[in-house]
Structure 1
Amino acid sequence: MTDIPRSALILTLAGAIPFVWGAATLLVPALEAWGRTTIGPRFVGPYIQLYYGAIILSFMSGVLWGFATRTSGSRAATGYALSVIPALWAFFMTGGGPVAANMNLLFGFIGLLALDAAFWRWGLAPPWWMHLRLPVTVIVVACLAVGVIA
Structure 2
Amino acid sequence: MPETRIPRAALALGIAGLLPFVWGALTMVSDRLSGLTLIWAGPRFVGPYVLLSYGTVILSFMSGVLWGFATRAEARAAATGYALSVIPALWAFVFVGGGVQSAAIYLITGFVGILGIDWVFWRHDLAPPWWMRLRIGLTAVVVACLTVVLVI
Unaligned runs of 5+ in 2: none
Per the alignment, residue 101 of structure 1 pairs with 103
Tell me, yes or no, if structure 1 residue 59 matches structure 2 residue 89: no
Superposition map of 1:32-71 within 5 A:
32-71=34-73
Give 1:37 shift. 1.4
Superposition map of 1:81-100 within 5 A:
81-100=83-102
Per-residue CA distance 1:102-127 (angstroms, 9 max, x = gap): 11101110011111111100110000
Give 1:146 shift. 0.5
Tell me, yes or no, if structure 1 residue 133 matches structure 2 residue 98: no
Per the alignment, residue 72 of structure 1 pairs with 74
Per the alignment, residue 117 of structure 2 pairs with 115
In the alignment, the residues of structure 1 paired with residue 101 and residue 34 of structure 2 have an alpha-carbon distance, to the nearest angstrom, of 17
Unaligned runs of 5+ in 1: none
Find runs of 4+ consecutive structure 1 residues off by over 3 angstroms: none
Residue identity opposite 1:49 in structure 2: L
SS at the partner of 1:105? Answer: helix
In the alignment, the residues of structure 2 paired with residue 46 and residue 122 of structure 1 have an alpha-carbon distance, to the nearest angstrom, of 36
Q: TM-score, normalised by structure 2?
A: 0.97
In the alignment, the residues of structure 2 paired with residue 70 and residue 11 of structure 1 have an alpha-carbon distance, to the nearest angstrom, of 23
Give 1:36 shift. 1.1
In the alignment, the residues of structure 1 paired with residue 74 and residue 150 of structure 2 have an alpha-carbon distance, to the nearest angstrom, of 40
Identity %: 59
Residue identity opposite 1:31 in structure 2: L
